[in-house]
């Protein structure tokens, strides 16, 4: 006969987590004891006693836990603290379940339930019912156990309490396992395991893994079962969960027995029994005795088997563990049959069959299936009704919110409109005053700037016109005075040629004549530079071409010149200014650029003139030259400014230089009579 231990009980509020006190727990108890020593006899002291009771129950120290529970009960009764009295009854019920005193446990849970039923606390009732369902299961009353689990499952699902739903699904799976409905059991175990994994509830994951292992063991899939048991055991060892460790040792011992690995089976059962004796778990102790008896029976060591089985029967009878009692009757009947004590074998087999019939029959199975179907139907009906109510409530709420929002928004809009109107009115009034003041200030500043600009333009215009007039006068004087004089000297020398033929042969005459020729050429050059005759006679384009040709002849620089759309001449003042610009720029190239190639382009549109001068020289840092204030660049910029033009300089070291000059042809110049 195959038998496997029931799984660990899951912690769900009232469900106790089964592990020993670690250092952190002991520290907590020490802190609680210190707090208890200084607390007045009031509800705060009762709270400390409640916590001490619970912490000791977690370690399975029910004797110590009961001491604190008794103190709490006396204090709560003296204070008339009904809620506290109910809670102590809950603790008594849990301790009774752990100790196997099921009837006493049920009475305490009944008191607890009466209090919370009166206050309508369904969650507290669900916790208590979970404990009651666990007791029914241990007593073999699977119908009542399942009915209770389904009842509390509805409560947990109604509040979407995931952890409690998972623990209840796990417990329902245990009932189906005990009823040999393996498919339904596995379905509930896996649902519970998925939820526990999401919550990272390791101790509960271990419980589910153990339960799944039991199903595989029942179906003789022993290696798979051992694999699940080992996974559960690994989690229990991480958590130092001695109760869980004992369960997995017992489960693996049963599987080893089926595999006829009897030494390993006995070792596991003995280790499990030692832990359970230390924890004082009567129900589990009875199971360990039964497991050892069954293993020794398989080993044909009948005396030892009989001894352990009788111990299991004694404890099971005392605390009412019917499934374990049934198993012990069956195995003890087999022991006596092997020893040829057939009368005793018959008697124990009869006890087994009578107990089996009382625990499980076709009617029970039918009722349980009906309960499950009823639960599923009610759950679906409840979900539909809940969804309908929620939809109606949502519609009503949406309509109410919509109306409130409409009223609220309308009021806010009206208020905002009024505020905006007032703010806009006063702001506009202030703005108008500010605008008027700013306009007056701008008009005054503009007048001042225009006067300053006109004054500067007038001064610059007067200076440039004066310079050009002076140059023209000097050029004329040089041409008409000194030039004529030098020409007369040369003519006199020519007239005296015959008389001084002999003198002409002298080197002094030749050098003197050469000096006169050079002086005459230099005077013409100065006069030309001061006011080029080509510019005055032929216009801007020929004059610039003359500059370029002169540079080509006198230097190693090749200057290329192109003019576009300049068939018509400009006014004299503009032509002279543009000529001086290009002259200044080309002089700078000759002096500083070390260039080999220069391109000069001059083009005219309807309203402006564009001048581009490019060279392949060494280039320069524009910012540094401007900062130093070079005379050539400063003269260039002043002439462009005079023409209201714009200058763009593109230059990089060793990459050449490009000057781009744009000049408006309709230059705004104040007439003298305006000043």
The CATH number that applies at residue 217 is: 1.25.40.10
pTM: 0.45
Supply the pLDDT for residue 574: 83
Of residues 494 and 187, the one with the higher pLDDT is: 187
Mean pLDDT (whole number) for 248-266 = 94
Instruction: Give phi and psi for 649, each to the nearest 5.
Output: -115, 125
More confident residue, 316 or 671: 316
Last residue of a domain, one of 356, 377, 394: 356
Alpha helices per DSSP H over 478-571: 483-495, 501-504, 507-530, 533-538, 540-554
> What per-residue confidence (pLDDT) applies to 13?
33
Q: Tell me the per-residue pLDDT of 192-204, one tens digit each, with 9 for 90 and over.
A: 999 999 999 998 9
pLDDT for residue 613 is more than 90: yes
Coil, strand, or helix at residue 610?
strand
Residue 12 has pLDDT above 60, yes or no: no
pLDDT, position 429: 77
How high is the pLDDT of residue 495? 58
Same domain, 538 and 662: yes
Most confident of 19-33, 43-57, 445-459, 661-675: 43-57
Of the two residues 56 and 285, the one the predictor is more confident about is: 285
Which residue range(s) make up the domain with 224? 140-240
CATH number (domain holding residue 546): 3.30.565.10
SS3 641: helix
Same domain, yes or no: 553 and 644: yes
Quote the mean pLDDT of the chain.
Answer: 80
Average of per-residue pLDDT across 206-224 = 92
The pLDDT of residue 362 is 42
Residue percentage of the chain with pLDDT more than 70: 77
Q: How much is the pLDDT for 66?
A: 92
pLDDT of amino acid 141 = 86
Label residues 655-672 b or e (16+ Cβ within 10 Å = b). Answer: ebbebebbbeeebebeee
User: In this structure, is residue 12 part of a structural domain?
Assistant: no
Claim to verify: residue 659 and residue 540 sit in the same structural domain: yes
Indicate whether 622 belongs to any domain: yes
Banded model confidence at residue 334, pLDDT cuts 50, 70, 90:
very high
pLDDT value for 387: 57
**Residue 44 and residue 94 share a domain:** yes
Q: Tens digit of pLDDT for each residue in 353-377?
A: 888 776 555 445 544 455 455 555 4
Residue 544 sits in the same domain as residue 654: yes
3-state helix vs strand vs coil in the chain, percent to 5: 75, 5, 15
Q: 557 falls in which pLDDT band (50, 70, 90)?
A: very high
For CA atoms 227, 232, 238, 242, give the dihedral sign.
negative
Quick check: 217 pLDDT over 70?
Answer: yes
Number of domains within the chain: 4
Say yes or no to pLDDT of 477 above 80: no
Which of 279-293, 316-330, 405-419, 441-455 has the least mean pLDDT?
Answer: 441-455
Confidence bin at 79 (pLDDT 50/70/90): very high
- Residue 58 scores a pLDDT above 80: no
**58-62 long-range Cβ contacts below 8 angstroms, 24+ apart:** 58/16, 58/17, 58/18, 58/19, 58/21, 58/25, 59/19, 59/20, 59/21, 59/25, 60/16, 60/18, 60/20, 60/98, 60/243, 60/279, 60/280, 60/281, 62/95, 62/98, 62/99, 62/280
- Residue 518: pLDDT above 70? no
Q: Which of 356, 388, 411 is the last residue of a domain?
A: 356
């Amino acid at each position: 006969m195959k038998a496997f231990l029931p799984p660990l009980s899951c912690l769900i509020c009232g469900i106790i987590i089964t592990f020993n006190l670690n250092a952190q727990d002991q520290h907590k108890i020490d802190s609680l004891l210190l707090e208890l020593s200084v607390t007045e006899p009031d509800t705060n002291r009762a709270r400390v006693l409640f916590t001490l009771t619970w912490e000791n129950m977690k370690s399975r120290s029910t004797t110590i836990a009961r001491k604190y529970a008794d103190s709490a009960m006396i204090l709560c009764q003296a204070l008339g603290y009904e809620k506290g009295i109910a809670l102590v009854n809950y603790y008594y019920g849990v301790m009774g379940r752990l100790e196997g005193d099921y009837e006493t446990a049920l009475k305490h849970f009944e008191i607890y339930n009466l209090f919370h039923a009166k206050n309508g606390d369904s969650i507290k009732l669900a916790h208590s019912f979970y404990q009651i369902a666990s007791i029914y299961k241990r007593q073999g009353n699977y119908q009542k156990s399942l009915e209770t689990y389904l009842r509390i499952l509805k409560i947990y699902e109604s509040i979407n309490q995931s952890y409690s739903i998972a623990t209840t699904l796990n417990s329902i799976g245990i009932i189906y396992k005990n009823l040999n409905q393996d498919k339904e059991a596995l379905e509930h175990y896996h649902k519970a395991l998925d939820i526990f994994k999401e919550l990272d509830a390791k101790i509960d994951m271990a419980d589910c893994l153990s339960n799944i292992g039991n199903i595989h063991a029942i179906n003789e899939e022993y290696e798979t079962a051992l694999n699940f048991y080992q996974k559960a055991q690994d989690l229990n060892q991480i958590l130092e969960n001695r109760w869980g460790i004992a369960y997995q040792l017992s489960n693996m011992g049963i599987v080893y027995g089926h595999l006829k690995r009897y030494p390993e089976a006995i070792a596991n059962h003995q280790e499990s029994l030692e832990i359970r004796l230390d924890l004082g778990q009567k129900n589990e102790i009875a199971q360990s005795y039964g497991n050892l008896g069954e293993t020794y029976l398989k080993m044909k060591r009948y005396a030892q088997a009989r001894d352990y089985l009788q111990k299991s029967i004694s404890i099971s009878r005392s605390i009412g563990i019917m499934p374990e009692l049934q198993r012990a009757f069956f195995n003890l009947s087999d022991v006596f049959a092997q020893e040829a004590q057939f009368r005793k074998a018959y008697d124990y087999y009869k006890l087994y069959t009578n107990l089996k019939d009382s625990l499980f029959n076709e009617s029970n199975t039918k009722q349980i299936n009906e309960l499950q179907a009823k639960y599923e139907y009610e759950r679906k009906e409840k979900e539909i009704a809940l969804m309908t109510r929620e939809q109606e409530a949502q519609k009503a709420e949406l309509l109410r919110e919509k109306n409130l929002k409409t009223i609220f928004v309308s009021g806010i809009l009206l208020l905002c409109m009024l505020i905006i109107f007032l703010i806009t009115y006063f702001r506009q009034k202030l703005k108008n005053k500010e605008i008027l003041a700013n306009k007056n200030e701008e008009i005054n500043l503009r007048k001042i700037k225009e006067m300053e600009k006109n004054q500067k333009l007038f001064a610059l215009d007067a200076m440039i016109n004066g310079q050009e007039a002076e140059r023209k006068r000097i050029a004329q004087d040089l041409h008409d005075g000194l030039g004529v004089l030098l020409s007369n000297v040369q003519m006199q020398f020519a007239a005296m040629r015959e008389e001084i033929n002999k003198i002409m042969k002298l080197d002094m005459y030749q050098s003197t004549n050469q000096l006169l020729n050079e002086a005459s050429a230099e005077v013409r050059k100065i006069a030309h530079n001061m006011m080029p005759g080509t510019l005055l006679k032929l216009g801007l384009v020929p004059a610039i071409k003359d500059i370029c040709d002169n540079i080509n002849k006198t230097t190693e620089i090749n200057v290329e010149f192109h003019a576009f759309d300049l068939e018509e001449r400009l006014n004299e003042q503009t032509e002279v200014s543009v000529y001086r610009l290009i002259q200044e720029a080309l002089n700078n190239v000759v002096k500083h650029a070390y260039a080999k190639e220069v391109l000069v382009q001059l083009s005219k549109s309807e309203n402006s003139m564009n001048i581009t001068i490019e060279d392949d020289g060494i280039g320069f840092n524009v910012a540094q030259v401007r900062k130093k204030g070079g005379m050539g660049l400063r003269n260039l910029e002043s002439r462009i400014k005079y023409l209201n033009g714009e200058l763009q300089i593109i230059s990089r070291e060793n990459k050449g230089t490009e000057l781009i000059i744009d000049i408006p042809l309709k230059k705004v110049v104040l007439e003298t009579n305006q000043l």
